[in-house]
A = this chain, B = another copy of it.
């Protein structure tokens, strides 16, 4: 019972490969006889035979009584959609940012290591590069989900997603995530270093800033690049 394997026979693969190459080069699909010539199949009916199988297997779709009516859906090497999508992420402006954890006021926030290329693909945030700051490398970005209402003075709500950039130091005017040693909490504030002391300014202009005289107490965890709020509607 070696027959009728689930996989593709050499002829199936040959046909798919030729189909891809021909369509790529010419811009339109080959005819049955052209397929036969290139795959050493002498009879058009045999080519038709295999094409019907490939259609049943979902590799192609065909138009009835249509010349060259073959639409290549997947390639022999797997799913072409996956390939294209990956290429799209490389070429176009789609970036996947790993969602590495939660940010809670009362706990230190997670910071991914230098090699967090391996992450759960399910917990990624897809963002168009056009929305990101021009200079930022996507590799330095990660996402956190905000838990709790403690960051409302930073105009950040429970459930919001903040896109962070890994940095060690902050520049004036940047929004940073800082760990305040004395209060033992994580907070999001605009950072200003003025006359040797640090001013942490809430995003909400009606709130008062925090002044910290010793800059060493301020541990900059990362820079906030973007805040995304998805409003769920049931």
Contacts and interface: CB of A to CB of B under 8 A. Distances in A.
Which of A84, A155, A203 has the most C-beta atoms of chain B within 10 angstroms of its own C-beta? Answer: A155
Contact size class for A? 35 or more
A11 interface: no
A229 B229 CA distance: 9
A130 interface: yes
Which of A131, A175, A206, A229 has the most C-beta atoms of chain B within 10 angstroms of its own C-beta? Answer: A229
What number of copies of this chain does the assembly contain? 2
Given A84-B91, A206-B152, A63 B128 contact: no
A72 interface: yes
A94 B152 contact: no
Interface stretch (A26-34, A35-43, A44-52, A178-186): A26-34
A102 interface: no
Contacts of A26: 63, 69, 71
A84 B89 CA distance: 12
A187 to B, nearest CB: 15
A149 interface: yes
Interface stretch (A107-115, A193-201, A218-226): A218-226
Contacts of A77: none
B28 A63 contact: yes
